[in-house]
Structure 1
Amino acid sequence: MARPPRTRTVGPRLAPSPLACRGAQGLVSALLDDPLASNPDLAVQLESRRLGPAPPEALTIRHGDAAQPSPSEVQVPSKWLRETNAQVVEIVHGDVPPLESSFSALHLADIVVLVLSDSTLLSSKAAQTLLYNLHTKPNLLLALNCPDASPSASTSPLRTLQHQLDTLFPSPEGGQPAALAISTEQALAALEALSPSEPDQPPSYDAFQKGYIASRIPHLHQLLTTALIADSPASSTTGPTPLQLQTAHYVLSAALSRAAFAGAQVADSLTTASSALSALAQHAAEQKAALLASLGVEGSTGLVRVPADEQRASLAALDELFASRLEWYKLPYRVDDLHAEVALVVGGTFLPSFEKQLVFATARAHNAAQALSSRVDAVFASPTFSAAPRSTPLSPAAQLASLYSATLLNSLAQAGTASLSALSASPTSSTALSSAVSRRRAQITAPGGPTDLLQRRAQRAVVRSATFAASSVALAGAGEALGWVAQTGTSVGLGLLGVTLGAWGLQRAWGKAVRRFRKDVGERVVGGLEEDLGVRARRIAERAGYKAEVAVRLGEDKVRERRVEWEAFRATLRCIEERRRALVDETEVDAVAQPKKRIGA
């Protein structure tokens, strides 16, 4: 069985009564109330169809005996609905355009009657929105509702309406919709005169005939009846009627056109998101490079150089120690205190200012990470990433282009927390920049370190010097006692020479030990410190940009995934378009698909 023809009547909600009779509601009442077969039940049901506490915007009216099977549907015993096998959908909206569902119903309708007021015409935004969406639809009729539909009274509003149509649509495809002046006010007053609601008032046939014909509702009634049944052959019960095929072709063309427009919006949205992610990646790379430069990382070597004046100041303090309390001639009785003396000086003078600078540098890295995190949040706060299609009212194009992902946003939050936590670590933690100085400072005095090696060399030099001096004195004494030396002065000279040579050897060995100590501190300790700082600085820079890196990677994956989905959807649309063109090219369908003369033209 073919579906019933669908007629949509749309107009603004006019309040209070009696102005309500001049909208779509009054037109439907005038069309369905048959003066030749007056039915009290029909009049009552028509009057009460929108008396509920929350009447729907779109109300379906069909032939039947049940009063109101559902809130959005009413059945009335209408002879006209039974004869035409049609359904009437009454759409009554306020000062705003109808809902999206109502627009869908209007596009699917076989005939649409747009009720306009003679006082506003097309000046209201709701009327303009409706006409912009429906002006290419076949069988669209503009019903200009006037207080008086006579030619003398309605010519001026019709001329103004035609001028507005010419201005809004100078070159419309398929011609402009026909405009017809009607008066629901006159029609309902005439029907009231024929069947008075007051029992003591007799029917006035003259008033009915004069008012009903002057309202031009019979003319509109005849136009709709002709359009509904003229193209319906007897075989239409087994297939769609030409009117329905015409509507189907329009709906398919309109759907493909809207899909193409939505596709452009989707492509633009995805391009915008991709550009935002590229800009974010570029900004993160620039901030990372700036952060590495502020931390003192050399681009060629990747090391963080210790300032030369800081290094000279640290070595100068050690030189002062070796030239005063640890002078070579004091070693014999201070060699055991050497480790403690060096540790005392190193603990207070080894790069203290540089260590403070590194603490401030870590704070700068934390600020840079916060700035990058704010930039990431700003990018992902856009509706493309943040608006959930299931919980946020979005247009179909926005739903197709939506990159919302709860998993992605959760991953970004975790990445931001991990990044800031790593950069907020204590200066003494193993990942802080300043802790590298403390670690290398401790290495100087650690077991097996430069200080330990210096003490062992000093002890060995003292032992050798003392042994050489004692041996020389003993040899001189033995020579004098055994008569090997003729004179006492000679033996004393030999002893003093040995002591002098022992002292010279101690001084020379201590000087070599100090130079080796300086070399160990300058190369092993400071060089290792520079390498450690370079590694930690790069790690800190990576941590500062970790959230941005995760955001760019996950965002690009989401954009790539959505583009793949959109390409598959475009392929489906191309297939539908090819099939539509093939249907239009067929001879039988082509005859049906030819643009017909508009209703009322």
Structure 2
Amino acid sequence: MSLSKLVRSTSSIPARQLAARNVGASRAVCSNCRPISNETSQSRKAGLSLSRRIQVSSQRTYASSATAIRPPEQTVDIIPTSRPARSVPVAGAASTSLLLEDIRHLLVTEIGGADEWLGRVEAALSDLEAQRRGRIGVFGDHLAAPQDVISALLQDPLADSEATRQALLRRHEASNIEVFEIRQDVKLHRDPEALAIPSSWLQASGYDVVEVNAQDTDAALSTLLSTDAHIVVLDPIRLIDTPQLSVMLPSLLAQGTVHFVINGHLPPNVSQSTVETSLRDQLSRIKIESLDGTTFDQATSTITFVQAEKALTALDALATGLQDHSASTSASKAHTFEVFQRKFLHSNIGPLQTTLHQSLSSLAQPQLHTAQQLATLAISHISNVISADRDSTRAASHTVSELRRSAMQAASKAKHTSVSSRGIDGAMVEGGVQYEMDKLKGDIERSFDGRLSWLGLVGRLRVDDVALEMGGYLGNRFGVELERQIIFETGELSQLQTDLDHSADHIIRQLSNPTHGPKPKTHPFTSPLLSNHLSTLSLSIPPLAPTSLLTPILIRRDQLVGLSVPRLQLSAQRALLSTYSTAFLGVSMSWVSYVPPVDLISAGTATGLGLLSVVASLAMGQRLWGRAQKRFWRDWKRVTGMMKGDLQTRFATALDTQILAKPLAAAEGLEKLIQKREKRLDELQDRLDKLRLRL
């Protein structure tokens, strides 16, 4: 029975009694580690064989009740003779091998540029040369902690020796191994990229574990496609919304068995059903088009929630309790078994072991099935390459490519030399938008310090000059130099538009009406529909006028003159009125306090209070005027900051909708016509269809 069932069966026994029962009967069995031989290591890397060990006494079973009450039997290695072990051929692999060989030939001679798929097909051919144990690939990023899941999945403290347990837990220490294999053997072996352990779960399932930690997506996918089943470990927040999984999942789901394991604590106020619904919703958006036209059904996916951290804590507690043989620690042993029972049940590792075992047991001939599925994916890849080649510029003529290149190059040059794009981060360039705005800002600041200073306004007893001077200054000076530069650039863009339109018309006539010999022949690229489309497009595109690109400057200028300046004028009026009112009130109160019948203060005191009220009113007015200026500068920063973006957007819109519209439309239409002549791709498609019929 499984470890989780054993936990449930012992949960009814008091922990103290269970601890006392296991004190004398449980012990850690350590076996010396020795390196794998070169022959075995090479065989593992090629995926053709596994190290073969046997037990002297009894066959090991997965988490059996026998292992719960006694340590595992001693094991010995069978020393291999000089004669190598005879490999067992894969039953029924002849037709699949021939199909893979034809696919490999097609990849080498016709497709090209698909080294990763060529390597995958060749690896599948090599894999079919000899029968092997099943392989289950495990993948997940560091946030999902897939290594912890595998550590919890494969541990059996009731049967594992301490050396086996530590080798499993520390298999990735001080290393960054991209592909790590854990396989079943009767004794513990370790080399840099593999670990052979006597594992109950591996023995019962008949599968070895291949952990994939490659950062390169193609390399990771190649390794996973060479395995017979897959465990995808996810964190409960992002689920499959990660860069690598979004690329690999379509191929993994199309290949076959995928188990999704969600590891970790759920977010607050989130249930497992909610997370599962979100995952299935993400899976439903993955379109897996198979050769028969059916799509991937996400409802068939197996989803398991686990907490590997709790499982490791529970297993560690159990292993510690089993190693302690002191009779004086029965209380601590009781606590240890309580921790194990509680945390292991909550971790849900037991149901995961059972689910995986049942699912893997249902796969008949997994090695052959994996090769067949890889052949299907390889044919699908070739089909995608053919479809992409039909749409690529490889079939386009040099004339059409030159039209597109010259149009894009001219547009890029115009964009980089435009005043709207002029400038350097952290510095200013003369003639740029920021340079002109800063120069104008300096003039306004000098005006605020001079004629429009607070004392200047108070001395003139009027603030109407604020609106007149500021409005006139901004209306006459704001963006004037930028307007001159943009008008000049508009003329250059208009000439560029004319040249590109003429070039597109010339190429259309050249490809549509070639002359060969005495009689003109209709060129295969002739398309009345394309000609009509370009003629309609020419009539619908308005020419560039000198003021076409000035709209952002005019709008931002009107915002300052129509909104910011009136607000500044109103603030000045309020400040001046507050100053005069406060001063008059202070002087009046001082005078009233001095004259009879009040006669509260002396003449000197009244004079001092009156002067103090005047000074205070001036200070208050100065503060109000300063606040008004700050509001004005906030408006200024917002308006001038958005103006540069508006100019860039307007310039880019003019390039896309007016300058490049016709030449790009002509290039696109001609490329579609050229694709009709791709006879070589048609022949390749016929060969691919014949291979598809052999699946």
Tell whether the structures are fold-level matches, with TM greater than 0.5.
no
Q: TM-score by structure 1 length?
A: 0.43
Q: TM-score by structure 2 length?
A: 0.37
